[in-house]
Structure 1
């Protein structure tokens, strides 16, 4: 039995059962009393749990409400499912060791371990990772060197870029590189599968010249990642407004599309429920696709440029449908 499992049990006993008795815990997990007391000290000193010995109960208990470890078993089960789903994709197996899954499995409680194989996470999209490019990017970050890229954007235009690699991000099953573009003097996001060639430069990355520079760049990179909706965040942020209606409205009301979003729920004049979502966006492409995926249950309200693109996309789809095809009955 792992320490994590014992700590989760101690927390549950003090939170729900009124107290934890050393002898009972030791017998359940087949450890000595000193091990249990060390676990209690860890909870109190490292986790900050408000624990005291109650002489009347002859047990350890919480002196006040403490929910930091609530649902610890369930969270471990979710992490196990996420990791297993990630490893089930053959493209990712070379990047991760199955030993990691075994380690997480040991952190799932004995009761939940029986159902762990029945809790699944399926990646919505996956694509093959170009390991040679992935490796070079990681080496550039580890050695603090600039990176030379040959890149093809989503429109097919090719370019050569000198960048400082800052973050590798897996977003919706796809890998992206967040880098500082030296020519543009700004952050840019590169889809890893569109990198046609990558090589390490002998030039040192200026952002890694000293601790202060590295700290400043790291803060800027994290702020950039928390910018507008989606993975492509370059450009000026604009507030977008979307109205979701029908059965999708209450579902969207419970979703988080962006940390700084706002959602207003209401009922239209016709009695139909709606959720109006507002969030910052710099690039409309991804948001437009998401809105269109709701079909007639989503409307792009503002800004005018976004609404215009939404209308144009609907018109183009209507023309395509009206054109007919011999391959579709």
Structure 2
């Protein structure tokens, strides 16, 4: 379904956008080493854009708040969002600035390493959220990642929370989060390494203790993604709730976390409780690793429904 100009969206994403430049290599490259790649491709990327596509493919009406360059990579983003039915009236296209780029190395075991240059996205700020205040006031879920400037996320979450929407933050790439921002987060979705970094528990303490620290600082729920091991939900005053991973034939893991975030947002937007929504997101993320690339790996609603019944 499409969220057209003037219509309320179910899910609004404060979105990063970049083109993924993907090289397939046998293993991680050592400092100073040159390694021949077996394949190369350019495809749409950016955590916010990927999550938005995932939410749209799960049936949500999705709209973006974003800033991109008026260049070939920016046009790639606009074409993708149009094809996926994602509203772009709050995407600012900026002449003279480059769109973001991610340089990705994918290894034979399916794992990857990524370097991101945000480009025009680095200029996203509170004014962009304020310009979309009407959209934010009418949505059910607002999501963002740490690939966008914190001031844009903070203002979007403030406006959304005031209107009764849920807020969802994927804290990747991990960076220190202010108590002000954490207090506006309904669901925080770190992976295990991000959990420890955010909680300041890089060398000591358990995952339970790290999650408890983030809850004590204001986050309402901490949902830790564990890759092939599934995910675990922490909420104050409740025991942790775990969902096991699903055994899948892994092609690559690019975009799996973004697929989880977008599918979770879509499920929450249609009114599912958090434990049920995380079951749906877990299935969607499992399917995403069975294909190459972020966008090609993002499943449709029917595929997730079929896997969920197994």
TM-score (normalised: structure 1): 0.25
Name which structure has the greater RCO, CA cutoff 8 Å, separation 6+: 2
Pick the structure with greater CA Rg.
1
TM-score (normalised: structure 2): 0.26
